[in-house]
Amino acid sequence: YMDESIVEFAGRQLWDETYAQNLNKLAKFDYEEMKLAKKRRLLYEDKFKYGVGIEAIVGWDKTLNIPITVVIDPQTWLPDNEPDQNYWPRFHLFEYIATQEQLTKEDGYDEQAVKEYVSEVEQGLVKKAQKNGEDIRKINSIGRNDTIQVIHAYTILKWEKYHVTVSQTFSKILRCYKIKAKTKAQEKNPSLISFPVIVRNWIPYRYDAYGINIFDILADKQMRTQLIDNLMIIRAEYEALWGTFLVDPELVPDLSQLKTPTTWPKYISGKAGGISVIPKGEPASDVWNVRDRIQNSAMLEIGIDERSMGITSGANITATENQRVQANANLKIMLWLKEDIIAEKEFRKQWYW
């Protein structure tokens, strides 16, 4: 994660350099005004946790003259797992919780359709209450500030791209507007228009829009490591609280004394030397070797070890080995960064074009 933009504008011709510098200054200003540093942190968290971070441009701030962006919860996303030959998605669907107050005519919503949908939701609540044998008189009508569920859909209709908001059951179209072209090329060929939704994968995976997340890689290894740690804790607790003893019945004739509840101190009758502790062997060294092999396997797959995270490793390695490890880690990080750069370029094109 870096608290700054990872792309810059560059002129294609010598005389374009001045324009590129001005755009970079503007981008830096927008980055701060749009509070993208905080949003990028959320995106990175989603990328590692779900395999994908999603950002959408949902409006325009007329006061600051900047786009309004939101970070969307990947759990609300219904993606297109079979994009076209250019790997452009044909649609994005997002579940969204909204109030009637937010579904206004000023934002392009059909007021009559919203009212009909609210009435449909209320009727559904009444039917559910009747089915469960509840008193329908206790059901209140949905107020202006009560939430209802809608679906935001970015889709293609007759080769043109639209943003459509529909009811949860897809029975009502609450809002529909065409996504406008930003360049002359897009005006001539509407298929070049992109959705204002930017998807950032951690590790892309074909036919799975979510890609691979860090839990896909580390979950099984973490479970095995935790199993070994738990078994060692159980062993330590047993050795600290319990034990196996050898009792000589001739020196301790009344064995029932040993079965009584333990108190501290505890007194029994008998002769000294009648009870001795049976020593236990140390855990096999292979136990810790297996644990280390699991951790090494995890570090190999994600390309990050203690040294790349700035932590001093307990292993002694040569300077050449350390350089090799760091180079491999840098390669992995650069691959992840490349995915970010592609997404960031698409993000900037949404309003700088």
Q: How do residues 263-310 score in pLDDT, each as one tens digit?
A: 666 667 666 776 777 666 666 666 667 777 777 777 767 666 666 655
Rounded average pLDDT over 7-12? 71
pLDDT tens-digit map of 93-152: 999 988 888 888 888 899 999 899 988 888 888 888 778 787 776 666 777 778 889 999
CA 81 vs CA 75, 265, 297: distances in Å: 15, 69, 30
How far apart are the C-alpha atoms of 111 and 2, rounded to whole Å?
A: 43
170-175 contacts at long range (C-beta below 8 A, 24 or more positions apart): 171/117, 171/120, 172/113, 172/116, 172/117, 172/120, 173/110, 173/113, 174/103, 174/109, 174/110, 174/113, 174/114, 174/117, 174/150, 175/103, 175/107, 175/108, 175/109, 175/110
pTM across the whole model: 0.70
Give the pLDDT score at 1: 47
Give the pLDDT score at 263: 63
pLDDT tens-digit map of 225-251: 888 888 888 877 777 666 677 787 877
Asked if the model's pLDDT at residue 38 lies above 60, the reply is yes
Q: What is the band of 24 on the pLDDT scale with cuts at 50, 70, 90? A: confident
How far apart are the C-alpha atoms of 333 and 327, rounded to whole Å?
A: 10
Asked if the model's pLDDT at residue 9 lies above 50, the reply is yes
Give the pLDDT score at 20: 75
Q: Do the beta carbons of residue 139 and residue 128 sit within 8 Å?
A: no
pLDDT tens-digit map of 309-332: 555 555 566 666 666 666 666 666
How far apart are the C-alpha atoms of 36 and 7, rounded to whole Å?
A: 14
Give the pLDDT score at 158: 84
pLDDT tens-digit map of 52-79: 999 998 888 888 888 888 999 999 999 9
For the CA atoms of 75, 76, 82, 86, the dihedral, rounded to the nearest 10 degrees, stands at -100
**What is the 3-state secondary structure of the chain?**
CCCCCCCCCCCCCHHHHHHHHHHHHHHHHHHHHCCHHHHHHHHHHHHHHHCEEEEEEEEEECCCCEEEEEEECHHHEECCCCCCCCCCCCCEEEEEEEECCCCCHHHCCCHHHHHHHHHHHHHHHHHHHHHCCCCHHHCCCCCCCCEEEEEEEEEEECCEEEEEEEECCCCCEEEEEECCCCCHHHHHCHHHCCCCEEEEECEEECCEEEEECHHHHHHHHHHHHHHHHHHHHHHHHHHHHCCCEEECCCCCCCHHHHHCCCCCCCCCCCCCCCEEECCCCCCCHHHHHHHHHHHHHHHHHHCCCCHHHCCCCCCCCCHHHHHHHHHHHHHHHHHHHHHHHHHHHHHHHHHHC
Which has the higher per-residue pLDDT, 348 or 169?
A: 169
Which has the higher per-residue pLDDT, 157 or 238?
A: 157
Asked if the model's pLDDT at residue 171 lies above 80, the reply is yes
Give the pLDDT score at 284: 66
